[in-house]
Chain A
Amino acid sequence: AQTVTQSQPEMSVQEAETVTLSCTYDTSESDYYLFWYKQPPSRQMILVIRQEAYKQQNATENRFSVNFQKAAKSFSLKISDSQLGDAAMYFCAYRSAAGTYKYIFGTGTRLKVLA
């Protein structure tokens, strides 16, 4: 079975600075997708960024980028120029490329942004 691990329960970053959130996963599959979701106090899940396992190039979305290391099964999220609105819970998620498409979530990292 697949597992997703986020080892940082909480992180803090100064406004305008850069922060990296860690995520590791375990799977025997070769084809899958990885995601970072943001959950603000409203509890609405918001997709931040996705990565296809077959792509070697790291995904980037504006201030958000990932460091995808397939061999190491690592998928970290880098937030540049942090803003107050980035404060939220961040969940790393895994989804198989086949089957039922269900997501497996990590335990989350609470990000605090300090003014």
Chain B
Amino acid sequence: GAVVSQHPSWVICKSGTSVKIECRSLDFQATTMFWYRQFPKQSLMLMATSNEGSKATYEQGVEKDKFLINHASLTLSTLTVTSAHPEDSSFYICSATRQGMGTEAFFGQGTRLTVV
């Protein structure tokens, strides 16, 4: 099966610092990766779509300067939360679609970010 791994699983950072979350497709090349944010007991809200070698496409209302997305290779995308604030605390999930087999998205296990 296709495996997507996120790192770290959880992170605590101080207000004003930046934190990077990695999303890796372990056994396939991901055409596209997606970043979602999930608040407690709520649904997944798409933040941005990331294509290898090109700029990410952000959803309306998502600050691109705050949530930096880099998709440097077909197996790695990173989300950097810059100058984090307590309101950025959330659960972040990435997913990836497999090149040539685009129907199903494969999800990482998520990253719980707590900003103190």
A residues within 8 Å of B by Cβ? 33, 35, 37, 42-45, 47, 50, 52, 91, 95, 100-108
Contacts and interface: CB of A to CB of B under 8 A. Distances in A.
Interface-centre pick from A35, A44, A101 (highest chain B CB count, 10 A): A101
Given A100-B49, A102-B49, A103-B34, A33 B103 contact: yes
A91 B105 contact: no
A3 to B, nearest CB: 12
Interface of B: 32, 34, 38, 42-46, 49, 57, 91, 93, 95, 97, 102-105, 107, 109-110
A47 B45 CA distance: 17
Contacts of A43: 38, 91, 93, 109-110
Given A43-B91, A45-B95, A107-B43, A102 B34 contact: yes
A101 B97 contact: yes
Contacts of A106: 43
17 contacts: A33-B103, A43-B38, A43-B93, A43-B110, A44-B109, A44-B110, A45-B95, A45-B107, A91-B44, A95-B103, A100-B32, A100-B49, A101-B105, A103-B44, A103-B95, A105-B43, A107-B43
Contacts, number: 48
Contacts of B102: 101
A108 B43 contact: yes
Contacts of A42: 109
A101 B32 contact: yes
Nearest to B111: A43
A106 B38 CA distance: 12
Contacts of B97: 101
Nearest to B9: A43
A37 B105 CA distance: 11
Contacts of B34: 102-103
